[in-house]
């Protein structure tokens, strides 16, 4: 059943959790076991959990002996090919103590726009969940060109939530909640709840590119959250460090109420 409030996350049957590059790569890779422990707790109570994880390119960069994120597409694809393997390995090693197996799912926009490919992707995801596998989804960067990219994994998280008809979507960020303007600005106030028909005109959600390893930011999370909420999926935007509390239904973050038809 669709999570209509934050509290419903504690009993939601099917949950998609999205985490960004800056939360799980480089010096932040220590957070992977913490994230996995929270996902494993939800899995243990019987929930079906899907993780949408960025971080392949960022994880691959040091293994290619690069000093910064590459700007050309071919090197980005190479970094993704190396980094995706290492990223999933790190997740699987963290999942091992909980006796949970990860399943890698790589997608492009074309996969979700083409009816046949979309049906195939959904069937595979459903079977993985039925087998109690934890799918780890990312953009297929080795084949995705600029024209067929999702743009950011917040949008991918929303589309995956729609694909599998999830009860809730959790978008993990670097801050606890969304604000009316950049949180460092005077007068910035946290946003508690966003109704389906809320007018967000005049609110400042910041730039799209937020760091050297990934894209995203508040604006992309708002766009993705509204996309999912319009489909009847409740969405929570909060800090990656609070994922355990988020999955327990705590009153944290910014909650996007689902549209109820």
Closest CA to 227 of 155, 134, 140, 127: 155
- Mean model confidence pLDDT for the chain: 91
Q: Which range among 89-93, 133-137, 193-197 shows the weakest confidence by mean pLDDT?
A: 193-197
pLDDT higher at 147 or 68: 68
Residues 189, 193: Cα–Cα separation, whole Å: 12
CA-based R_g, the chain, Å? 17
Structure tokens of 29?
A: 């890779």
Structure tokens of 218?
A: 């508040």
- Stated as kind and residue range, the H or E segment containing 77 is helix 73-95
pLDDT confidence of residue 152: 77
Q: Is 231 annotated as a binding residue?
A: no
Tens of pLDDT, residue by residue over 232-258, are 999 999 999 999 999 999 999 999 999
Q: What is the mean pLDDT of residues 26-55?
A: 96
Q: Is 18 annotated as a binding residue?
A: yes
Residue 212 has pLDDT above 70, yes or no: no
Q: What is the mean pLDDT of residues 71-92?
A: 93
pLDDT confidence of residue 142: 83
Q: Is 245 annotated as a binding residue?
A: no
Residue 206 has pLDDT above 60, yes or no: no
Q: Is 54 annotated as a binding residue?
A: yes
Q: Is 117 annotated as a binding residue?
A: no
The answer to whether residues 84 and 106 touch, using CB atoms and an 8 Å cutoff, is yes
Residues 141, 135: Cα–Cα separation, whole Å: 17
pLDDT confidence of residue 201: 80
The answer to whether residues 246 and 253 touch, using CB atoms and an 8 Å cutoff, is yes
**What's the pTM value of the predicted model, to 2 decimals?**
0.93
Q: Is 140 annotated as a binding residue?
A: no
């Amino acid at each position: 059943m669709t999570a209509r409030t934050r509290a419903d996350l504690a009993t939601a049957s099917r949950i998609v959790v999205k985490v960004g590059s800056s939360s799980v790569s480089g010096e932040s890779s220590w957070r992977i076991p913490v994230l996995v422990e929270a996902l494993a707790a939800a899995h243990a109570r019987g929930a079906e959990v899907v993780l949408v994880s960025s971080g392949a390119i960022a994880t691959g960069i040091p293994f290619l002996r690069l000093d910064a994120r590459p700007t050309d597409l071919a090197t980005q694809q190479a970094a993704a090919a190396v980094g995706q393997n290492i990223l999933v390995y790190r997740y699987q090693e963290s999942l091992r103590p909980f006796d949970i197996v990860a399943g890698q799912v790589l997608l492009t926009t074309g996969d979700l726009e083409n009816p046949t490919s979309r049906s195939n992707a959904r069937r595979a995801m459903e079977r993985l969940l039925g087998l109690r596998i934890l799918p780890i989804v990312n953009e297929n960067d080795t084949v995705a060109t600029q024209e067929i990219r999702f743009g950011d994994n917040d949008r991918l998280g929303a589309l995956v939530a729609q694909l599998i008809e999830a009860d809730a979507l959790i978008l993990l960020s670097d801050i606890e909640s969304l604000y009316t303007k950049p949180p460092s600005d005077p007068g910035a106030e946290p946003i508690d709840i966003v109704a389906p028909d809320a007018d967000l005109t005049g609110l400042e959600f910041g730039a799209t590119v937020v760091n050297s390893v990934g894209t995203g930011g508040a604006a992309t999370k708002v766009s993705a959250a509204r996309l999912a909420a319009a489909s009847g999926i409740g969405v929570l935007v909060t800090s990656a460090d609070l994922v355990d509390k988020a999955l327990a239904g705590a009153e944290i973050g910014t909650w996007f109420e689902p549209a109820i038809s």
